[in-house]
Amino acid sequence: MDLPQHQETVPVAVLLSVYNGAAFLNDLLTSLKQQTHTNWVLLWRDDGSTDASIKCMHQFALDVGIQRCRQITSSPAHLGVVLSYATLLKDVPAGFFVAFCDQDDVWFPDKLERGLKALTVTQKPALYCSRQRLTDTKLRPISISPQLPPNPCFQMALTQNIATGCTIMLSPAAVSLLQANFPPPNHILHDWWAYLVITGADGTVITDNRPTLFYRQHDNNAVGAPALFTQRALAAIRRGPWQFMFIFRDNLAYLGKQPYLSTNNRHFVDALHRVLSQSGLMGRWHRWRMLQHSPKLRRYTWPEQIIFRLWFLLG
């Protein structure tokens, strides 16, 4: 696709799934109006709110104009977060970039601008993601999210998700790819699936270690963001090898059927299937050998990598 020379003419669809977010929505919506890149349209749907969320959104539409704030109503009332974003993605017009958006965050003014600058350097399907400033409900700083790895690839995407949904931006080629391959399989959120699909097709993932937003942490977060490596490793230990490997195998089974996988990535998925189908000591030996010969099949930090290797061998 030939991108416009002047970045300000590049259109961005901001996707927002709303669910009982009235306490935080005004802060988010104000930060959208303050974006330095102004060529955006907000596509939103309500997922069954019982508070004043819809009223907040309708007021915002009056403020910015109904052409810039479009409600998507072509689906049942409550879908859950994954299918809600999948539904919104289907309504993105051709040629638009996309930014996923959470109702309780506050964007930095240059969030869209920085993402676009990163994405417009490639014609391939591309995903941009960044770190976040973690805060409490009153936006008081807690910490910063973990550092992101450079040049993530498909094998890394199989082991963990490093692309937090509220920071993700997608190129038009990535949007088209995801529109053709939603919804994701069970046990996986929309952001990890986007990361898997784009890397699986040999697309580009661009990580930005400068935060782009304030990410509120509270009891109603859909996922939340443990800030410390030790917290994340302990969470993996509590889940145990069988739960992790069940999800790992489920993702592999789904990915193995997808036509968009590159040849090399398809061969790797097939090799993983063969190794994981073997049991007993010989099966453990083949798994160990695969880990030794697949250095990119890894998690980013060493505590998480140790846990991943144990789970891969035992689960």
Contact between 205 and 152 under an 8 Å Cβ cutoff? The reply is yes
For 291, the token pair is 């880990």
- Total domains in the fold of the chain: 2
pLDDT per position as a tens digit, 226-249: 545 566 556 666 767 788 898 899
- Are 111 and 156 within one domain? yes
Does residue 175 or residue 247 have the better pLDDT?
Answer: 175
Last residue of a domain, one of 170, 190, 216: 216
pLDDT per position as a tens digit, 25-49: 999 999 999 999 999 999 999 999 9
pTM: 0.90
Task: Give domain status of residue 241, yes or no.
Answer: yes
What is the β-pairing status of strands 126-130 and 169-170?
A: antiparallel
CATH number of residue 119's parent domain = 3.90.550.10
Task: Give domain status of residue 1, yes or no.
Answer: no
∠6-15-109 over CA atoms, to 5°? 55
pLDDT at 303: 85
Residue ranges making up the domain that contains 308: 229-314
For 247, the token pair is 């999800």
Task: Give domain status of residue 148, yes or no.
Answer: yes
Say if residue 224's pLDDT is above 50. Answer: no
- Are 293 and 181 within one domain? no
For 39, the token pair is 């060529």
Task: Give domain status of residue 223, yes or no.
Answer: no
